[in-house]
Structure 1
């Protein structure tokens, strides 16, 4: 039985009784339950989605979502919510399961069966390797390897398992012999998805890890000619009084500035194309200003209710953005923006808590999305939205995950090879694992 050690106290009726730090504690801790007690009971991987009430048997495990879940577990250990030994047991169980699961040139699919490890097709022809979802899994695994840096046998074994998975990813094979990286490959349909990874989007981290690989690196020119070489990569236009350096008009959904940057520290990170702190800051502010100005007059929008990204909606899954605004607010969009807009994000957090409490908040934190014009509140949580809430709030509070990830040798090597500058490249020392949570009785393997 998985112990529910992460359960946080519910919010008081008058949320103003809590100071900001106490409020963030509750949000992070409750949301982390998604990845601890809500994990698949066999593999320990993150289920792709869960219901707000008790869910039936659900074997759909998300590879990228599991990477964000690993980061959530690290935060929970660091904050003393989970025993370090219990976390090591859980993570090793996940690693053992992943090692025995099908991969395609060392790359995982989007979904796998959390009970058997079998590939579950995302779409008809998307039944093999997904390079981007694997990137997000590796982001979490690298953080775990850097955090559990002790001499104990269990920590050494975890590091060995992580390194084995990383070394087997054939990044250069996914160039298809050209100056690009392909997102998908199928053992049944080959390259039929025909999806070269071009920016600006959530995929920059894929190129960093591919360039930094020890055994199967890509040529740096593939980043410049492939990801950054498209006609839609640069922007430079004014949106709500803000000039956006890169990407589509109005910036696109906010996960562009969040998924890769749960680990990549954008502070002082730049290359020949952009300062990525400014890119993400401006992207966030455009999204915020759109919701405040509310040109479509959607009910509920304002400075205490904003955030457009990919989520569930009244009519299915949607990718919301200022130029594709369906009236659906996703709490993760604002809450994962704490590093970029702390005041605006805190106001949104408190604003969300003025909504009907039993419809917006539950066993795993805030629901995935809501649409007040339709009086609709999601009855589900989504792994790839819940995970960044924990990671990005922690980066805002302590910089923990940024410090771990940016200290990893393959990350530093990839950034250097691609021509990035960063404060993390100024020293040859690697990040060491922070303190272990102290004073807790062991919970045993879970």
Structure 2
């Protein structure tokens, strides 16, 4: 089956045509999965390989995955005008070189054009065909001054460098220089194309539950998965914000480009939020924070004694994180815009309106907790001083992007 018949009409890269360039390196094996994921997100992919790349992966493999003939020669007779470097670069919404070897980066810096891939990079219309580079090389090659110098020059010339991973390398050494994983590169490419409505903003977002210890093995928590907060962190990063994510105990991968701080209890979360709110311009309190905690956690496990007696627990109220930040000098002066979340079980509108007024925030986002905890979809209700707006049931990432756009609109129209 032609992979292009599997294109997702609503994928994040729907309608985008990507030229995927492969240069010589063992990381070419990742390019096969990268091609598949790009197509799964709705993109069409045209593969162009250097002669060295063909030593590591076959054109047959990449043609089967992309559903298109693979190009490797500037003299390719399949092009009626014998100008594949012009035709391929003019059709591209972006050119992604993955893997990009140290040698190929040097070729780009020098403007060399004696084979097809570097030639089409040189011939590309810079304004409409951006160049993204995913380096892949040995750790010593990566830190070499020549490589670092070439990367700086490529960035100055307008290329976007996606960075590298750290870990075991094919040569047996361990360190920086591995090509990013395919899913990471796809996330970066999606972010590259998203509108930068929060450029210059510094977002602080909380996510997930908190855990309040009863004894060393038991505690009080809730069903929040953290997925909504993590989606907001990703959407804000896509929109150009500098994002810090304070996460309760959840098993979720950190979104690309997001600074994550792991905490456990409500008190831990409060301390982290108060510290990082000093530099933030936007605070979104998505976490489901425990309202109470045991007044004193037992030092040892509380055991049954067979009498049927139950332990007597005393509780104290946790400090309200959202209200604390919303009443801070920076928030009251307008330097910090605060958004709250309300997870309710009934009477969503009334409870959300009351909570917004009580917390003193300009915008509160309500949802029905039992209907969304742990799931990948949600429905939101945006409540401000004047109105309530429904965001219908959709994926949490889709809702996060809508919420980010709404916040950006409010930031840009506020006095």
Place the TM-score, normalised by the shorter chain, in its bin: under 0.3
Q: Which has the higher strand share?
A: 2
**Which has more helix, going by share of residues?**
1
Task: Normalising by structure 1, report the TM-score.
Answer: 0.26
Tell me which of the two structures has the higher relative contact order, counting C-alpha pairs closer than 8 angstroms and 6 or more residues apart: 1
Greater Rg over alpha carbons, structure: 2
State the TM-score, normalizing by the size of structure 2.
0.27
